[in-house]
Amino acid sequence: MDTKTLLEWSAKYHTPNYGSRAPIVLVRGDGVRVWDSDGREYLDFGAGIAVTSLGHCHPRVTGAIQEAAATLLHVSNLYHAAPQIHLAKLLIEHSFADRVFFSNSGAEANEAALKLARKYARERIASDRFEFIATRNSFHGRTFATVAATGQEKYHHGFEPLPPGFKHVAYNDLRAMERAIDNRTAAVIVECIQGEGGVHVADEDYLRGLRKLCDQSGALLILDEIQTGVARTGRLWCYEHYGIEPDIMTLAKALANGVPIGAMLTREEIASVLVAGTHGSTFGGTPFVTSVALATLTTILDGKLWERASRMGRYLMDGLRAIQASNPTVRVVRGKGLLIGAELSAPVAPVVDACREAGLLVLSAGERVLRLTPPLIVEERDCDRALAIIGTALGPAG
């Protein structure tokens, strides 16, 4: 099938919500590279929105997929399955948490977190304690509850009425949070770095301050680490940068290197309200996906890939700052590890297009932020090439 026909059929047969999709058809990937249906090669500095952290077709991931496919794909959660148990154990051994629930996506992990927090607050603290406080510019998913948690009007538009019980305050503003928390607050939900919202990094004292406010008021602290988790920011979990621990953490994107998975992690005492029958998922944590996640997480742990994320992140950010020094279109460069944003003084969409045409896939975050989330296995020479393309795509200096 030729590319032109595929693009015509795509426009004809899909719901139009992905209408701004890039006009290429990707057919193959290997490491940091992907190829389109016309044989053009791209450096992939989006990694499927911070998902394919080990790169495309990593041998350990591919091996786990092949083995699981030939052993057991799915049995439902009516039965136990060893890979799910091993993955739960590994996540618990390497995090603050005591208990884990598996879902199929980030939104579903957050949905589970919100349901759990509300049930815990109402049953263990006070029956009228059901509200959530989230932050402006946040992104927590597209289901009704998670879109209500999301602090961006554009995702709400047309879907009202949204589920009640969500308030939003400015990010990195402890005073605003202090004013918003009261004896109706079940939980505060925040990202350590707002990914979709523009790569806004939590200030040093922000998460510590939130931890304190939650402890004082009895509200739970939910950290949405769906984009920041699993070594992306230079630590296994982004909260480690801040010297605090959440009550609930959600994961998804990079956890199985591209096979759909979500996870909600929490402490024993909180998990205890989720008694038999209160929550569930048909597909959540299948033997297939959990074997792939096990291979992914083991590879990341064995290679201490957060160290690599930290080192390569510094290299890439230094490179972007060098571009900034001679090109005032770049206003600010920010991020942690390999979750990096460059805020521009102009719309980012033409820059994303120009990069792609020059053989580099990058992401945007909002109207004006260029977002880079390359695989953690990226090398300096890949970064050099990406920086050269970005420099050209940004247009003439000065």
Query: Least distance to ligand PLP from the beta carbon of 364, Å?
Result: 14
Of the candidates 101, 166, 247, 253, the residue annotated as catalytic is: 253
The DSSP bridge partners found for residue 71 are none
Burial class (CB in 10 A: 0-12, 13-18, 19+), 127: exposed
Contact, 334 vs 340, CB < 8 A? yes
Query: Least distance to ligand PLP from the beta carbon of 266, Å?
Result: 17
Query: By C-beta, is 151 or 234 nearer to ligand PLP?
Result: 151
Phi, psi angle pair for 335, to nearest 5°: 145, -175
Number of H helices, E strands in the chain: 14, 17
Residue nearest ligand PLP by beta-carbon distance: 106
Phi, psi angle pair for 371, to nearest 5°: -115, 130
Query: By C-beta, is 224 or 382 nearer to ligand PLP?
Result: 224
Among 207, 252, 293, 394, binds ligand PLP (CB under 6 A): 252
- DSSP letter, residue 135: E
- Name the one residue in this structure whose structure tokens are 């600010």: 332
Query: By C-beta, is 107 or 256 nearer to ligand PLP?
Result: 107
Which residues ranging from 180 to 209 are in contact with ligand PLP (CB under 6 A)? 191, 195-196
Specify the amino acid at residue 280: G
Query: By C-beta, is 107 or 174 nearer to ligand PLP?
Result: 107
Q: Is 106 in the site for ligand PLP (CB under 6 A)?
A: yes
Which residues ranging from 213 to 242 are in contact with ligand PLP (CB under 6 A)? 224, 226-227
Question: Total residues contacting ligand PLP (rule CB under 6 A)?
Answer: 15
**Which two structure tokens, joined as six digits, stand for 133?**
């406080």
Query: Which part of the chain contacts ligand PLP (CB under 6 A), choosing from 58-66, 70-78, 103-111, 129-137?
Result: 103-111
User: Do β-strands 33-36 and 220-224 pair in parallel, antiparallel, or remain unpaired?
Assistant: unpaired
Contact, 111 vs 155, CB < 8 A? no
**Which two structure tokens, joined as six digits, stand for 225?**
């680490």
Of the candidates 45, 101, 139, 166, the residue annotated as catalytic is: 139
Interface pattern 18-57 for ligand PLP (x via CB under 6 A): ----------------------------------------
Query: Distance (Å, rounded) from C-alpha 47 to C-alpha 60?
Result: 17
Tell me whether residue 304 is one of the annotated catalytic residues: no
Query: Least distance to ligand PLP from the beta carbon of 14, Å?
Result: 17
364 vs 23, 123, 313, 371, 382, CA distance in Å? Answer: 16, 41, 17, 5, 19
Tell me whether residue 253 is one of the annotated catalytic residues: yes
Contact, 6 vs 26, CB < 8 A? no
Query: By C-beta, is 309 or 323 nearer to ligand PLP?
Result: 309
Of the candidates 224, 247, 288, 382, the residue annotated as catalytic is: 224
Contact, 342 vs 330, CB < 8 A? yes
Query: Least distance to ligand PLP from the beta carbon of 142, Å?
Result: 6
Contact, 176 vs 151, CB < 8 A? no
3-state DSSP call for residue 275?
coil
Tell me whether residue 139 is one of the annotated catalytic residues: yes
Interface pattern 134-163 for ligand PLP (x via CB under 6 A): -----xxx----------------------
Q: How far apart are the first and last CA of the chain?
A: 44
Query: By C-beta, is 330 or 348 nearer to ligand PLP?
Result: 348
Query: Least distance to ligand PLP from the beta carbon of 257, Å?
Result: 14
Query: By C-beta, is 140 or 211 nearer to ligand PLP?
Result: 140
Nearest partner of 325 among 394, 248, 245, 226, judged by Cα:
394
Query: Which part of the chain contacts ligand PLP (CB under 6 A), choosing from 104-112, 263-271, 278-286, 299-307?
Result: 104-112
Nearest partner of 206 among 164, 248, 166, 238, judged by Cα:
238
Query: Least distance to ligand PLP from the beta carbon of 182, Å?
Result: 25
Which residues ranging from 59 to 88 are in contact with ligand PLP (CB under 6 A)? none
Query: Least distance to ligand PLP from the beta carbon of 199, Å?
Result: 11
Q: Is 6 left (phi over 0), alpha (psi -120 to 50) or beta?
A: alpha
Enumerate binding residues for ligand PLP (CB under 6 A).
Answer: 105-107, 110, 139-141, 191, 195-196, 224, 226-227, 252-253
Q: List the catalytic residues.
A: 139, 224, 253
